[in-house]
Chains A and B, each alone.
Chain A
Amino acid sequence: MWQWFFRLGSPKWFYEMSGKWLPWLFVLMTALLSVGIVWALLYVPQDYQQGDTIRIMYVHVPVASISLACFPLMAVAGIITLVWKMKLADMVAKCAAPIGAWFTAVALATGAIWGQPIWGTWWAWDARLTSMLIQFFLLIGVIALRSAIESTDAAAKACALLSIVGAINVPIIKYSVEWWNTLHQPASNFSMAEDSPMGPEIWVPLVIMIFAVYCFFVISLILSTRNEILERERRSQWVVDLIADERTN
């Protein structure tokens, strides 16, 4: 029963399977992104208060919400590393940290650009913004911790622990807009109901963009995990053969 789980932990198996998934994910991402961006830029009606800045939401919200997936992912990978010592889990965790830092930084930057005309300020020490900034520093901390420890195994354990602790910040970010009185607005509820404040012409493109950015997150994570696999397994025969067979480019 557990066979699939341990096979999943085999870097070689993951390398081969992910090579098959990548083209499909790439096609899916390109299709979703093209539809989502054209819809957001051309067809979404202007907000009666915010005007055209409503279009910023279609980048900011997907990037910010997917940045929250990073710590839980690293924490789960950390638990797998600590309990089963699965090498692949640590490789994924290592690659997720810089990608998560990028997502968090872009979420903060797009939020600042949106905040300037709407709130009248680039930055405020509001609970949502501050907890996002903490997430950014935690990710930088995980990256620094890994590069500071020479031994791969010791670094894996230390980063796994820090990721598990750091994941506590995620529910704080998520519920910050409800627990504290913040400048940042709470999450909008959208539904199919007729009287819903947010009509489908607003939220359908948002859902498309969220899926598109999810695809992008998965693709970039797979791409860098594959590099990490080659790097760490460079002495095993299958990598040596793969490098010899690769077309010169």
Chain B
Amino acid sequence: MFDNIQFASVGEFFQMGKYTFHVWSVYGLFAVFLFVNLFKPRMQRRQFIREQRQKALRDKQIAQQSVEQERADALGEGQ
């Protein structure tokens, strides 16, 4: 079965008989479809983790600032 490639030359393969546009646009669309649906979730995951890290960092800074503020207030009241 595998000794009968349907095309005599590489040029003929790319030409696909009369149907160059039809065959290659379908396979091109399929490639885009695969690529988008496999890589989009990966990008979204990366984005989500980046956002959550920044948020955690911000929360930490805010917590620290309020602790310092309270300490300063306590000192102010003491004097």
Q: Spell out A's residues near B (CB within 8 Å).
A: 33, 37, 41-46, 51-53, 55-56, 59-60, 63, 99, 102, 106, 109-110, 113-114, 116-117, 201, 216, 219-220, 223-224, 226-227, 230-231, 234, 240, 243-244, 246, 249
Closest 10 A/B residue pairs (Cβ): A223-B41, A52-B17, A52-B16, A220-B37, A51-B17, A59-B30, A224-B41, A56-B26, A110-B26, A243-B52
- A219 / chain B contacts, CB cutoff of 8 Å: 38
- B29 / chain A contacts, CB cutoff of 8 Å: 59, 106, 109-110, 113
Q: How many residues of B contact A (CB 8 A)?
A: 33
Across the interface, do A52 and B23 meet the contact criterion of CB distance under 8 Å?
yes
- A114 / chain B contacts, CB cutoff of 8 Å: 22, 26
A56 vs B52: C-alpha distance in the bound complex, in angstroms? Answer: 44
- A117 / chain B contacts, CB cutoff of 8 Å: 18-19, 22
Q: Is the interface of A mostly helix, strand, loop or mixed?
A: helix
Partner of A220, one of B4, B25, B26, B38: B38
Across the interface, do B23 and A55 meet the contact criterion of CB distance under 8 Å?
yes
Q: A42-B6, A43-B4 are in contact. Are A227 and B44 (CB under 8 A)?
A: yes
